[in-house]
Amino acid sequence: MLAKLLQAVTCLMLLGQAAHAFEPATEKVTDNVYAIVGEIDQRSAENQGLNNTTGFIITNDGVVLVGSGATVGSAKMLEAAVKSVTDKPIKQVLNIGVQDHHWMGNSHFLAQKIPVSALAKTMEGQKAQESMNRMRLSSGIGGKPEDLTVEYPSETFDGDEKTLTIGGVEMSLRYLGDAHFPGDAVLWLPKEKVVFTGDIVFNDRMLGILPEISKVKDWQATFNKVAELKPEHVIPGHGNPSDWATAQKDTGDYLDWLVTEVGKSLDEMEDLGDAVKRLSADETFNFLHMHEELNGRNIHQSYLQLETE
């Protein structure tokens, strides 16, 4: 009797865990392009580091997946998201980001003999940041990521641009300049007017200027180059897919504000601490998730960077 009771309790616990398991949302963007929206908050054991947005393209020959997640667990979430929409197999994975959740799940797809491609500049950034990515990921999901075997893209392309035609769909990998991480790239679909921006665009939540990694003026310039593509649909690195006006409001305007307002502070010889305190009280971007955690840090980092120019 006791054994049966324990078995029943165990089953209920497992069902409870399954009910609270994280699942990314899949959103249709165009007839053949979908976004996979991960957690808008920080990395956790539940989301397996999938606190970013990625997506996929359905072609005549199969699916092109943009990004592979941070771990085998999050790679499987992306795989399940694709299967929820189409029976076509994943034929190609493209890496456009340098931070962990955009590529450290590569091994799951390479083990299935699915090629993973990227610009050489993006892979260089992945290699340079691998150690820090591992540390950040391990801290975020609570311990050593299970089954984390880091594998780089199986194919790379030299130069700042590579045009591919896969299953009748033309797409272009482009490096337009450094942003959240050095080596971040975009994927541009000219016919669909869709751009996968990776971490160049943050929708719905505040971006982060990372010490010694993110350069605020470089990011601002790169964002403006993406704008020159005149995309109608944006699949960002974080947050929900949108039009360009939303990307401008959530990312472009904030980068402009940092450069302009911190620049004024330096021109007026305002002390760093006073500048951070004063500008942190500005409520212009309080509508963005995580502004309380990140805004002051971003002002601080922008001040230090602009001070040296």
Let me know if residue 169 belongs to a domain. yes
pLDDT tens column, 263-304: 999 999 999 999 999 999 999 999 999 999 999 999 999 999
Let me know if residue 225 belongs to a domain. yes
Provide the domain limits for residue 31: 21-243
- State the average pLDDT for the chain: 92
Which token pair is 222?
């790169």
Let me know if residue 254 belongs to a domain. no
Cα→Cα distances 179→80, 146, 302, Å: 30, 29, 13
Let me know if residue 251 belongs to a domain. no
Cα→Cα distances 256→60, 70, 141, 196, 275, Å: 41, 30, 33, 21, 16
pLDDT tens column, 92-147: 999 999 999 999 999 999 999 999 999 999 999 999 999 989 888 888 888 665 55
Cα→Cα distances 123→70, 97, 186, 197, Å: 15, 9, 14, 16
Model confidence at 3: pLDDT above 60: no
Backbone angles phi, psi at 130, to 5 degrees: -55, -45
Domain tally, the chain: 1
Let me know if residue 267 belongs to a domain. no
Indicate the pTM of the whole model: 0.91
pLDDT tens column, 205-237: 999 999 999 999 999 999 999 999 999 999 999
Residue with structure tokens 């989301």?
47
Nearest alpha carbon to residue 214 among 249, 177, 248: 177
Q: Tell me what pLDDT residue 244 has.
A: 98
CB 54, CB 67: distance < 8 Å? yes
Let me know if residue 31 belongs to a domain. yes
CB 188, CB 170: distance < 8 Å? no
Q: Tell me what pLDDT residue 149 has.
A: 80
CB 261, CB 282: distance < 8 Å? yes
CA distance linking residue 137 with residue 139, whole number of Å: 5
CATH code: domain of residue 168: 3.60.15.10
Exposure string (b/e) for 117-148, b if CB count within 10 Å is 16 or more? bbbbbbbbbbeebbeebbebbbebbeeebeeb
Which token pair is 60?
């005549």
Q: What is the mean pLDDT of residues 67-89?
A: 96
Let me know if residue 281 belongs to a domain. no
Let me know if residue 287 belongs to a domain. no
Nearest alpha carbon to residue 150 among 175, 121, 129, 130: 130
